A = this chain, B = another copy of it.
Amino acid sequence: MKNPLLLVFPGNEALARALQAQFPARLENLVLHRFPDGESLVTLPAIEPGADVLVVCSLDQPDSKLAPLLFAADTARELGAGRVLLVAPYLAYMRQDRRFHDGEAITSRTFAAVISRHFDSLVTVDPHLHRYHDLAEIYTIPARAVSSAPAIAAWVHREVHKPLLIGPDEESAQWVEAIARLEGLPHTVLFKTRHDDFNVEVSLPDAGRWAGHTPVLVDDIISSAHTMIAAIGSLAKCGFAAPVCVGVHGLFAGPALAELKAAGAARIVTCNCVPHDSNAIDVMPALAAALPALLP
């Protein structure tokens, strides 16, 4: 790699510094000006000829970031960058991976196509892969998905007394198991039994086995927090203590954070993928480790 420059989109300063601690590089802010008429202008620092430019921009609230992000990529190249890589610890638009109703856009595909045309490569952390199994199904540039599991496992092992890792629903089973295995932690998953449209019973098999353990709920995205809040209620019914809630990507849309606190979370922590006060688990060592392969 050549004279790497971390070009920081506003709001991403803390995670860019955490990345710089693992990946020696010049760090400069991208200046973003938004005009009253809704246009934006970005201004970049001087770029050394042929330098690798890493645009650091997590993609929460993606619509407002898309235009300035594309401006930044094109301008970096015009100013002499060799390669332009997108460092987006949270990658947006992964959930709309099919047409769920007639006429709907498959936004994941268009978004991936646009990003792929303006950047040379992409690195992210635990993208929401459900129907897609690999970013390469929609991104046509080299795209690397880094796992947050080692950082989460180490944090739980260090910070939580007698932890029991719990997936809030059956879909999270594999995910929670992968984290638990890394540190040899016990784990389980909440099961939903749907009686009818309005009655869903959530249960934990063998709840009695876990007396004295601290429940740790883990999910990839906390957006509305409805899944976490339902899980907290179920754990209380099973006689558990208030759980620690861990999210890889804390989007906390609208009143989600306040509602999650009110529901009884003992502690709410997230990885530093989406900049937020709850960031406590540093995934930048894993992200930094992925960079040499993308910038050979």
- Chain A positions near chain B (C-beta within 8 angstroms): 34-46, 60-64, 66-68, 70-72, 74-75, 78-79, 92-93, 95-96, 101-107, 109-111, 113-114, 117-118, 223-224, 251, 253-254
User: Which single member of B60, B63, B72, B105 contacts A105 (CB below 8 Å)?
Assistant: B72
Evaluate contact between A42 and B117: CB separation under 8 angstroms: no
Docked Cα-Cα span, A293 to B101, in Å, equals 35
Contacts of A78 in B (CB 8 A): 106
| Distance, CA A109 to CA B73, complexed state (A) | 12
- The answer to whether B46 touches A107, judged by C-beta atoms less than 8 angstroms apart, is no
Closest to A254 in B: B36
Determine if A107 and B71 form an interchain contact, defined as CB atoms under 8 angstroms apart: yes
Among A37, A75, A111: residue with most chain B CB under 10 A? A37
- Copies of the protein in its oligomer: 2
Q: Which residue of B lies closest to A96 (CB)?
A: B41
A8–B105 Cα gap in the complex (Å)? 15
**Would you give the shortest CB distance from A7 to chain B, in whole angstroms?**
11
- The residue on B at minimum CB distance from A34 is B63
**A64 in contact with B61 given A37-B223, A107-B71, A253-B37 (CB within 8 Å):** no
Given contacts A66-B66, A79-B103, contact A60 B37 (CB under 8 A): yes
* Given A67-B62, A105-B41: A36 touches B74 (CB 8 Å cut-off): no
> Which residues of chain B are near A109, meaning CB under 8 Å?
74
A251 engages B75 (CB within 8 Å): no
Check if A101 sits within 8 Å of B64, measured CB to CB: no
Q: How far is the CB of A230 from chain B (nearest CB, A)?
A: 18
Contact of A93 among B39, B45, B93, B106 (CB under 8 A): B39
Kindly state the separation between the CA atoms of A37 and B45 in the bound complex, as whole angstroms: 30
| Cα-based distance from A45 to B105 in the complex (angstroms) | 11
Q: Please determine whether A43 and B101 come into contact, CB atoms closer than 8 angstroms.
A: yes
16 residue pairs from A and B, CB less than 8 Å apart: A37-B60, A38-B60, A38-B92, A39-B93, A39-B107, A40-B107, A43-B104, A63-B63, A66-B66, A67-B111, A70-B110, A71-B105, A71-B110, A72-B105, A74-B110, A78-B106
